[in-house]
Amino acid sequence: MVKQVFVGMSGGVDSSLAAALLKERGYLITGVFMKNWTLDLPGYRCSWEDDFKDAKRVAVQLNIPLKTLDFEQQYREKVVDYMLDAYELGLTPNPDVMCNQEIKFKLFFEVAKTYGADLIATGHYAQTRQGRLFKGIDPNKDQSYFLYRVSSQTLKDTMFPLGGMHKSEVRAEARKRGLVTANKPDSQGICFVGEVGIKQFLQAELGPQQEGDIIDQHNRVIGRHDGALYFTIGQRHGLNVGGGLPYYVTYKDMSKNEVHVSSNLSDSKLWSRELILTDLWWINNQPESGKIYQVKCRYRAPGTNVRITPNKTCLKLILDEEIRAASPGQSAVIYDKEEVIGGGIIKDAR
């Protein structure tokens, strides 16, 4: 019996090729465009209509139906509000992780099943086998970091056709098939808005912020900021403090509305050897205490060997090497070599 696959199609080259490859393999394909965000911001036009047109053009090329699912309200509640709340607390959230957990691999998955889909697929660079998640083979595009909160049950019915490919291969294969998105640039902005930067988005959503002091490692006021929530640990650009030396954000005191910086890249406040994680998520089994795993606190960060001390509510990670700019609110994702075990949200880094 031919299996029916609902493919999330964003209007980009990755999801376009994913749909093409699966059709060539004999699956019955339905493309799905998820309408998550349609609002324009001051000076920035949301790209959703252009992306939708590109998805339709590819669907016509492939001779497959294209459904539109309107998830805008759920996206606002589950992803955008979560992100805004975290920034107001001085944290550094990852909306892509929450989007995958709540929208693409929960809501989309559930709706696809009600329409009779046997499987879902996306253009993510990752691999799944029997409910387990693995890195994509292209180290520059591997997106397993963003997928660590997807359930094992969902992964069993999910396909990632690009997980065994490099980006250059994807472009080449898309051109070979004449897909209209073959040369479309990858999006660079916030996952749901487009090219707008995070600061512009926060300003539009939260309004002007209170100015405050920028304080260096010698406790001297060296400048003013336009909102502490705009800054992240380790940030170098956008401080506008002058003086010749580069400064790096070491921490934020939200109660005093202060941004603390250092010109010393070796400043101990920038480096962490121990992480405390909360809001834990395991795809299958919890990690074994004492076993060596690897942890990544950023998408393209190299994995760092780590030993784990679990308890009921949080997880302590002792790293073999110090890592720079681990920030509360970020996701710390735990790997067993190529397999993603799970992870959690950084509560404290020291």
Domains plus CATH for the chain?
Answer: 4-176 (3.40.50.620), 209-262 (2.30.30.280), 271-349 (2.40.30.10)
pTM over 0.85: yes
Average pLDDT over residues 217-235: 94
Q: What does the pLDDT look like over 44-55, one tens digit per residue?
A: 788 899 999 999
1 neighbors 27 (Cβ within 8 angstroms): no
Average pLDDT over residues 201-227: 94
Q: What does the pLDDT look like over 251-283, one tens digit per residue?
A: 999 999 999 999 999 999 999 999 999 999 999
Task: Tell whether the model's pLDDT for residue 192 goes beyond 80.
Answer: no
Report the distance separating Cα 56 and Cα 15, nearest Å.
12
Give the per-residue pLDDT at 194. 57
Which runs of consecutive H residues, i.e. helices, occur in 41-103?
A: 48-62, 72-75, 81-88, 95-99
Report the distance separating Cα 9 and Cα 104, nearest Å.
11
Q: What is the overall mean pLDDT for the chain?
A: 93
Give the per-residue pLDDT at 193. 57
Lowest mean pLDDT among 130-139, 182-191, 214-223, 241-250: 182-191
Residue 187: pLDDT band with limits 50, 70, 90:
confident
Give the per-residue pLDDT at 250. 96
Give the per-residue pLDDT at 188. 65
At a CB cut-off of 8 Å and minimum separation 6, what does 195 contact?
44, 47, 187, 188, 189
Which residues are registered as beta bridge partners of 198?
none
- DSSP collapsed to 3 states, 165-183: CCHHHHHHHHHHCCCCCCC
Residue whose pair of structure tokens reads 């509360």 in the numeric block? 328
156 neighbors 130 (Cβ within 8 angstroms): yes
Give the per-residue pLDDT at 289. 83
Task: Tell whether the model's pLDDT for residue 125 goes beyond 60.
Answer: yes
Which residues are registered as beta bridge partners of 221?
215
The set of catalytic residues is 99, 191
